[in-house]
Structure 1
Amino acid sequence: MQPEKKLFTFEETKQKLVNYCVYQDRCHAEVEQKMREFVLIPEAKEEILLYLMKENYLNEERFTRSYIRGKFNIKHWGKTKIKIHLKQKGITEKLINRCYDEIHEDDYLKTVKRLYENYESKLKGLKDYQKRSKTITYLRSRGFEYEVILQVIES
């Protein structure tokens, strides 16, 4: 059984969605998902989306840049994992690639190196090749590219 949809006036709904976008950068897919909670005719949804974009509450590039910064700096995700998650949110590959300049190459390599050293030091009782293999698998799961991992290991 579906929960009751909330009934608000057009202006109240618009204000709620403005607040939703102001609280944190959002992508179009998240806003459209939020709109499903409200009873709206398609024309009203379109008008609200246009208003949010026109007033710069909804900006796909700003969202992408902030998402990349956050996932890299806070969660220490690699570019591959970030790209997969952004694509799931409906962000184009072209935009994602354009926004990767938010991650500086030096910081990226330092992060891979730090994660590599931390993880490898926790592995006890394994042969060197086993440690290396497990660590590479771990870093790949964090979204780092194999070439970058090898570059860090060999340096």
Structure 2
Amino acid sequence: MDQQKKKKYYTPKEALIKAAAYCAYQDRTQQEVRDKLYSYGLESDDVEELIVRLSQEKMIDEERYAQSYVRGKYGLKKWGRRKIVQGLKSKGISDYCIKQGLKEIDLEVYEQNLLYLLEKKNTTEKEKNPFLRRQKLSYYLLSKGYENDLVQDALKSLEL
């Protein structure tokens, strides 16, 4: 027998409790919380009211979200600034919050990440032609979001 899962609707008060727990688990953007509240079957007035309340109570803080996003992406995934900015923009984060988030990047660690990725990719790259090899390494680092001038400097230091 095919059973449809019934969608549960919440009152604004219940939704506030659920949304607070959702935000407490990890930093969220306003849009993520807004989508979650709509999935609870709330009207747009109630949703916006709850967003404001959660923001006032610092449950939603886009600046804090941007900072933790940057720390995670550059620290763990070793992404470059361009890819991080693109990711934050796609989540609807303001330019101001993006700027604040990018302050989390330690330039020394950032450059070490770039060199680490280059050396790692260089050991696995099968291309023998030095020109094509250099091009492939460059594309790889650019796709990771690193700036072209830093990529070129890193490639020079490798001396292919």
1:112 corresponding residue in structure 2 = 114
1:39 corresponding residue in structure 2 = 41
Offset, 1:96: 1.0
Partners of 1:130 and 1:151 lie apart in 2 by 17
1:76 and 2:78 are equivalent in the alignment = yes
Q: Gaps spanning 5+ residues in structure 1: where? A: none
State the TM-score, normalizing by the size of structure 2: 0.89
1:140 corresponding residue in structure 2 = 142
Once the two structures are superposed, the pairs formed by residues 1-155 of structure 1 within 5 Å of their partners are 5-155=7-157
Letter in 1 for 2:133: K
Question: SS at the partner of 1:36?
Answer: helix
Partners of 1:123 and 1:10 lie apart in 2 by 55
Letter in 2 for 1:13: A
Cα deviation digits, residues 38-89 of structure 1 (max 9, x gap): 1112221122111101111000100000001111111111111111111011
Letter in 2 for 1:126: K
RMSD: 1.7
* Number of residue pairs matched by the alignment: 154
Q: Percent identity?
A: 34
Question: SS at the partner of 1:102?
Answer: coil
Letter in 2 for 1:58: I
Question: SS at the partner of 2:103?
Answer: helix
Q: Gaps spanning 5+ residues in structure 2: where? A: none
Partners of 1:90 and 1:5 lie apart in 2 by 27
State the TM-score, normalizing by the size of structure 1: 0.92
Moved over 4 A (4+): none
